[in-house]
Amino acid sequence: MTRLHEEEHPNKAFGWAARDSSGLLSPFNFSRRATGENDVAFKVLYCGICHSDLHMVKNEWGSSVYPLVPGHEVVGEVTEVGNKVQNFKVGDRVGVGCMVGSCRSCDSCKDNLENYCPKMVLTYGAKNYDGTITYGGYSDTMVADEHFIVRIPDNLPLDAAAPLLCAGITVYSPLRYYGLDKPGLRIGVVGLGGLGHVAVKFAKAMGVKVTVISTSPNKKKEALENLGADSFLISRDQDQLQGANGTLDGIIDTVSAQHPVLPLLGLLKSNGKLVLVGAPEKPLELQAFPLLQGRKLVGGSMIGGIKETQEMFDFAAKHNVKPDIEVVAMEYVNTAMERLLKADVKYRFVIDIGKTLKATS
């Protein structure tokens, strides 16, 4: 991809960036803007590794701009606030998710759905309103308009709270919007990774019964015993899937790679909903008849608005929904990416930025 114009900002920053579609990350010096009157600046302490970071460092969606500093599950402590900032002060525990800007005036923005604003600015690898490129949370500092800053409730540990900023809201929002949050319903969660395991936890906290549909037999015991799933199906086992046909009111599909959706439609009851949140680089194959029979619906969902993100945090704090994480050092990030590709993490890597990110200059 062509390099966008980059201005030198006054504040020095340091992080790890991918330089090309090999996706390999290495130390990188850059700069961040001065804290504007509506801005909150914070020292980054932890950042989750989302599978979207992996898609992006490898340019799998074709939109990556290098050098690319990933990271959109960013938490830390406020170091400076602009003079018009109303809701935050120095020392507050805060986070930034997938967006750092939106137009604030379109229909989506007025509906608190900044995530669907056509001018939404992603936290990294996007062109900001001042023409410069955004850099994510695999870095020492962050600055954003206070509208896009979320407060982390006191009873959630900062490291485990980080994945809620993307994985959490991405599954919470469709559970609510598609009405899959009613006690007594039964839903399926496909793919037990970062998003999937939080989906299980939120659904259970809402009183919903959960069937996990996974390619990994080694995740079964823990899913049932620790995550509280009610049943577990191996997606490559046709007999198991057929035995569960017509049992689910809805499905949240978090799978990051191309996979068959036909068997998933079979698992739905009449009027059931298949909601895609995973974003494979290649198209999925969809046939008409399985949808017509039983009036089934296929939908999608992308993260969530800021208001709902704060609501999700408050719900997580109240119901003790905490992601299961493996905390790793910054130097481990390339290995973590390799393991993530193999679905070898229970269930989210979180980088200890505060203790392990070392500046080179």
Question: Would you tell me which residues interact with ligand NAP (CB under 6 A)?
Answer: 50-52, 55, 166-167, 170, 191-196, 214-216, 219, 254-257, 259, 277-279, 301-303, 340, 343
193 binds, among ligand NAP, Zn ion, none (CB under 5 to 8 A by kind): ligand NAP
Q: How many helices (H) and strands (E) does the chain have?
A: 12, 17
* Alpha-carbon span 268 to 273, nearest angstrom: 7
Distance, first Cα to last Cα, the chain? 28
The smaller minimum CB distance to ligand NAP, of residues 32 and 348, is found at 348
Name which of ligand NAP, Zn ion, none residue 224 binds, using a CB cut-off of 5 to 8 Å depending on partner kind: none
β-bridge pairing 268-276 and 297-300: parallel
CA distance 17 to 134: 12
Q: CB 108 → Zn ion: shortest distance, Å? A: 5
Total residues in contact with Zn ion, by rule CB under 5 A: 8
Rank residues 15 and 323 by Cβ distance to ligand NAP and give the closer one: 323
Instruction: Judge contact between 34 and 11, C-beta under 8 A.
Output: yes
Q: Which of 35, 59, 102, 301 binds Zn ion (CB under 5 A)?
A: 102
Is 109 a binding residue for Zn ion by CB under 5 A? The answer is yes
**Applying CB under 5 A, does 142 fall inside the site for Zn ion?**
no
- The pattern of x and - marking residues 47 through 66 that bind Zn ion according to CB under 5 A reads ---x-x--------------
Q: Does 117 bind Zn ion (CB under 5 A)?
A: yes
Whether the Cβ atoms of residue 306 and residue 123 lie closer than 8 Å to each other? no
What is the smallest separation between the CB atom of 82 and ligand NAP, expressed in angstroms? 29
- Report the alpha-carbon distance of residue 124 to residue 28 in Å, rounded: 14
Q: Contacts from 102-110 at CB under 8 Å and sequence distance 24+?
A: 104/147
Examine residue 233 and tell whether it contacts Zn ion (CB under 5 A).
Answer: no
